[in-house]
Amino acid sequence: MWGIIRQKVGAGGISAPSMQRIRPAVSAWRSYSSSGKEMTVRDALNSALDEEMSADPKVYVMGEEVGEYQGAYKITKGLLDKFGPERVVDTPITEAGFAGIGVGSAYYGLRPVIEFMTFNFSMQAIDHIINSAAKSNYMSAGQINVPIVFRGPNGAAAGVGAQHSQCFAAWYASLPGLKVLAPYSSEDARGLLKAAIRDPDPVVFLENELLYGESFPVSAEVLDSSFCLPIGKAKIEREGKDVTITAFSKMVGYALKAAEMLAKEGISAEVINLRSIRPLDRATINASVRKTNRLVTVEEGYAQHGVGAEICTSVIEDSFGYLDAPVERISGADVPTPYAANLERMAFPQVEDIVRAAQRACFRSVPMAAAA
Amino acid sequence: MSSAFSAINTVQRLPHASVSQENPSVSPLRSFLPFLGSTHKLRPKSLHKNGASIRRQSSIVAVSDVVKEKKTKSSSCLPNLLITKQEGLVLYEDMILGRAFEDMCAQMYYRGKMFGFVHLYNGQEAVSTGFIKQLKKEDCVVSTYRDHVHALSKGVPARAVMSELFGKTTGCCRGQGGSMHMFSGEHNVLGGFAFIGEGIPVATGAAFTSKYKREVLKEADCDHVTIAFFGDGTANNGQFFECLNMAALWKLPIIFVVENNLWAIGMSHLRATSDPQIYKKGPAFGMPGVHVDGMDVLKVREVAQEAVARARRGDGPTLVECETYRFRGHSLADPDELRDPAEKAHYATRDPITALKKYMIQNNLVEEVELKAIEKKIDEVVEEAVEFAEASPVPVRSQLLENVFADPKGFGIAPDGRYRCEDPKFTEGTAHV
């Protein structure tokens, strides 16, 4: 499997720069963890699917290339051989069709896991995610629930252009009736996917292509087949007392790196891994801001109507008196993702942007002028 | 009208007959069925006209049969060739350009000059050349992510495409689009779409514009044709069927070209499609459905000529299924493990470039040296394109925020017709630009 990743990375040198950025965070982890096993996010997702499918025969996987191709990103590797083509279903290229089929089968009692090759393609199926899945429990007054999981990579990869790089967290999280999860580490991936499959409601599970190959330490508890994480609870990845940085998915890694750099300057940052975008863990975020008095939100998606906008508003509504500085939002640039490598780097938050924002919040540097 | 009804009956009976004979294990390299019908027959026309149209329609479909017929019927002293020397050289040069360019893309990708998703067109050149060389500059081409060669055939300079792939500011989209999003306003290449199926409604819209210009805006000589290129996997997508319906309903000047290379990443066409004969879906919507050997540029060209002429006349859309093959994997990141090496070897023997070369030399249209000269010239063009792309600058920082809106700052047009942001009074208030 590493061979495949190396072939993909080496072939284009596409994700090499960002991989180098993330890797130091992982090695920092290594020095802190006890002598536990390590697991890639890909293996974590694969093992979670494997165990849930073994435990409950109503769970099945459907999507493009999930079977014979072993998964477009190899997440469903080996599942076809183990469970057969009736439970690992290769579909034609019809997102609207197979998402609808998934929802219909969930109405009638099965537990589908629908894979989108990237969440950009979910836009061809968004009518079913929103109108057939999310709203059904409400419209039927509880008679029909939809225990479906829509999963796939979300957000930017490297050099894949405007139509393959959008982050859909804010779009899906704005709708009542959907649960939206965004794992970062292998522990998150395993626990949240298991929780999502067992959940009786529609769940949008946003993974990240560049995190698939990342290794994280996992304890024995995480490897247990009944391991599950609660939906709606954020995790404090790193404790601190000067500024709260919230992030999800790949940006958690960047935030941790930024926290390391800030620690050298004497700023102790608390990094919150949101894990769950809807329901948002407002309690944890507010408790943290009441402790540190400063907030920086980080996300890959666009600023307007983004996840950060919601978090900032929540903090202003609930903990206004505790804030010592204006809330800071870091998000992707307000442009469709450009292809050119240098422009793409500028279009997404980098570690330095997070460091600068935290410094601004701590008044260590000149605050930005009011006009953009 | 009785002839029209019998035509309908024929349409209904034939699919059933073909299904009973169909053996799913037979490879798709089988002889196609005769053309099944079109709205032509439903119009109350005289029998004679119907007869003529039937003959013409059957000549669309049974191209390789007609070609064989022509060859056997013609007298032996005068060879009845399909192309002149000039036409042959144009076709050859275009296909060599496509092949050399894609091979260079692979090299550059493995050297790290290109990144992201790159989908190469090796093996399918006959389809692009055969169709696009029948178009004028004002005609439109819409494609998918496998669009480098479509752009090149349409006339976008190789250096512009190569710079775009390198992500340089001199690329055809200033480095902002990338491999999958080749656009050219000048050459009417309307993309370049990453989502398969997305380009088909866009192409149908371009055809709608052409008809609108002629009928509503009264530009009497507007006979622009649009070609939508897409693959076998796309033929299962809902948008495809919606557009077949509307194009036939409104008789739009569009040609739907299915580049059936049998594979959608790792999904075989036969595993994904209930009835793998895509051309049969045309008559279901009221347009001719044609199957052609997409590895033979001369056959593709004949079909293309007829389809383009049909569209220009105002007779409506055509669905053409080209049986072709891609020699490389789906993209440069695809390990290509699922395709049978025997299948790849078989199609390698049907390389369209070799086939055209053989045809032209055997029929004494050209000497081998002339073809070699073309190959050398194209090599130089591609090398020059790479040098140009290497030497071009990367986009400047300020380019990041440009082109989001056509309106420079996104504030819209003022009542006097100028952009609001150009009015100095507009920012006098509390609004910040």
Distance between CA atoms of residues A222 and A229, nearest Å = 9
Mean pLDDT across A353-364: 91
The pLDDT assigned to A286 comes to 97
Q: Does A368 touch chain B (CB under 8 A)?
A: no
Q: Is the pLDDT of residue A23 over 90?
A: no
Residue pairs between chains A and B whose CB atoms are closer than 8 Å: 143
Active-site annotation of A, residues: 95, 164
Compare all CA atoms of chain A with the CA of B431 and give the residue at the minimum distance.
A371
Q: Does A370 touch chain B (CB under 8 A)?
A: yes
A64 contacts in B (CB within 8 Å)? Answer: 264-265, 267
Q: Which of A282, A238, A230 is nearest to A256 (CA)?
A: A238
Domain residues of chain B, as ranges?
A: 81-391, 398-428
Structure confidence at residue A47 as a pLDDT band (50, 70, 90): very high
CA distance to A23, B271, B353, per residue, from A189 (Å): 18, 31, 49
Lowest average pLDDT, out of A110-114, A351-355, B6-10, goes to B6-10
The pLDDT assigned to B79 comes to 55
Q: What is the pLDDT of residues A340-355, one digit of tens each?
A: 999 999 999 999 999 9
The identity of residue B277, as a single letter, is Q
Mutate to test the interface with B, among A343, A350, A368 (most CBs of B within 10 A): A343
Q: Are A161 and B272 within 8 A, CB to CB?
A: no
User: How much of chain B exceeds pLDDT 70, in percent?
Assistant: 80
Please identify which residue in the block is written with the tokens 């790849």.
Answer: B344
A336 contacts in B (CB within 8 Å)? Answer: 404
Q: How far is B404 from chain A (nearest CA, A)?
A: 6
Residue A68 in 3-state DSSP? coil
Compare all CA atoms of chain B with the CA of A119 and give the residue at the minimum distance.
B195
Q: How far is A165 from chain B (nearest CA, A)?
A: 11
Lowest average pLDDT, out of A184-188, A200-204, A255-259, B398-402, goes to B398-402
**B337 alpha-carbon distance from chain centroid:** 27
- The pLDDT mean for chain A works out to 89
Distance between CA atoms of residues B331 and B128, nearest Å = 18
More confident of the two residues B191 and B182: B182
Structure confidence at residue B418 as a pLDDT band (50, 70, 90): confident
**Which is it for the CA torsion B409, B412, B415, B417, positive or negative?**
positive
| Assigned CATH topology for domain A236-364 | Rossmann fold (3.40.50)
Please identify which residue in the block is written with the tokens 């069925």.
Answer: B33
Question: Which secondary structure element, helix H or strand E, spans residue A300, and what is its range?
Answer: strand A295-302
Mean pLDDT across B82-88: 91
* Residue A82 CB neighbour total at 10 angstroms: 11
Q: Are B116 and A339 within 8 A, CB to CB?
A: yes
Structure confidence at residue B191 as a pLDDT band (50, 70, 90): confident
B431 contacts in A (CB within 8 Å)? Answer: none
- The pLDDT mean for chain B works out to 83
**A353 alpha-carbon distance from chain centroid:** 20
Q: Are A158 and B168 within 8 A, CB to CB?
A: no
3-state SS, one letter per residue, for chain B: CHHHHHHHHHHHHHHHHHHHHCCCCCCCCCCCCCCCCCHHHHCCCCHHHHHHHHHHHHHHHCHHHHHHHHHHHCCCCCCCCCCCHHHHHHHHHHHHHHHHHHHHHHHHHHCCCCCCCCCCCCCCHHHHHHHHCCCCCCCEEECCCCCHHHHHHHCCCHHHHHHHHHCCCCCCCCCCCCCCCCEECCCCEECCCCCCCCHHHHHHHHHHHHHHHHHCCCCCCCCCCEEEEEECHHHHCHHHHHHHHHHHHCCCCEEEEEEECCEECCEEHHHHCCCCCHHHHHHHHCCCEEEEECCCHHHHHHHHHHHHHHHHHCCCCEEEEEECCCCCCCCCCCCCCCCCHHHHHHHHCCCHHHHHHHHHHHCCCCCHHHHHHHHHHHHHHHHHHHHHHHHCCCCCHHHHHCCCCCCCCCCCECCCCCEHHHCHHHHCCCCCC
Mean pLDDT across A347-371: 81
User: How much of chain B exceeds pLDDT 90, in percent?
Assistant: 67
Mean pLDDT across B129-140: 96
Mean pLDDT across A230-246: 96
Q: Does A1 touch chain B (CB under 8 A)?
A: no
Query: A44, A227 in Cβ contact below 8 A?
Result: no
The pLDDT assigned to B222 comes to 87
**A339: nearest CB among B110, B176, B273:** B176
Q: Are A12 and B116 within 8 A, CB to CB?
A: yes
Q: Which of B280, B321, B315 is nearest to B39 (CA)?
A: B315
**A106 alpha-carbon distance from chain centroid:** 24
The pLDDT assigned to B255 comes to 97
The pLDDT assigned to B220 comes to 78
Q: How far is A334 from chain B (nearest CA, A)?
A: 8
Q: What is the pLDDT of residues B204-252, one digit of tens each?
A: 999 999 999 988 888 878 899 999 999 999 999 999 999 999 999 999 9
Q: What is the pLDDT of residues A295-319, one digit of tens each?
A: 999 999 999 999 999 999 999 999 9
More confident of the two residues A337 and B50: A337
Q: Are A336 and B178 within 8 A, CB to CB?
A: no
The pLDDT assigned to A363 comes to 85
Distance between CA atoms of residues B322 and B325, nearest Å = 9
Query: B169, B175 in Cβ contact below 8 A?
Result: yes
Q: Are B115 and A14 within 8 A, CB to CB?
A: yes
Q: Regarding the domain with residue range A2-13+22-223, which homologous superfamily does it belong to in the CATH classification?
A: Thiamin diphosphate (ThDP)-binding fold, Pyr/PP domains (3.40.50.970)
Q: Are A336 and B404 within 8 A, CB to CB?
A: yes
The pLDDT assigned to B425 comes to 73
Q: Looking at the DSSP assignment, which residues form a beta bridge with residue B267?
A: B264
Q: Does A162 touch chain B (CB under 8 A)?
A: yes
**A158 alpha-carbon distance from chain centroid:** 17
Domain residues of chain A, as ranges?
A: 2-13+22-223, 236-364
Q: Is the pLDDT of residue B149 over 50?
A: yes
The pLDDT assigned to B41 comes to 36
* Residue B185 CB neighbour total at 10 angstroms: 8
Q: Is the pLDDT of residue B83 over 60?
A: yes
**B236: nearest CB among A94, A347, A370:** A94
The pLDDT assigned to B408 comes to 74
The pLDDT assigned to A372 comes to 40
Q: Are A12 and B169 within 8 A, CB to CB?
A: no
The pLDDT assigned to B62 comes to 45
Q: What letter does residue A338 receive in the DSSP assignment?
A: P
Q: Are B178 and A159 within 8 A, CB to CB?
A: yes
User: How much of chain A exceeds pLDDT 90, in percent?
Assistant: 86
Please identify which residue in the block is written with the tokens 């990743």.
Answer: A5
Per the document, the length of chain A is 372
Query: B192, B141 in Cβ contact below 8 A?
Result: no
Q: Residue B94: what are its φ and ψ, rounded to 5°? A: -65, -40
More confident of the two residues B70 and B18: B70
Q: Is the pLDDT of residue A4 over 60?
A: no
Distance between CA atoms of residues A128 and B23, nearest Å = 36
Structure confidence at residue B28 as a pLDDT band (50, 70, 90): very low
Q: Which of A329, A292, A291 is nearest to A310 (CA)?
A: A329
Kindly report the CATH class assigned to B81-391. Answer: alpha beta
Q: Is the pLDDT of residue B258 over 50?
A: yes
Q: Is the pLDDT of residue B33 over 90?
A: no
Mean pLDDT across B362-377: 94
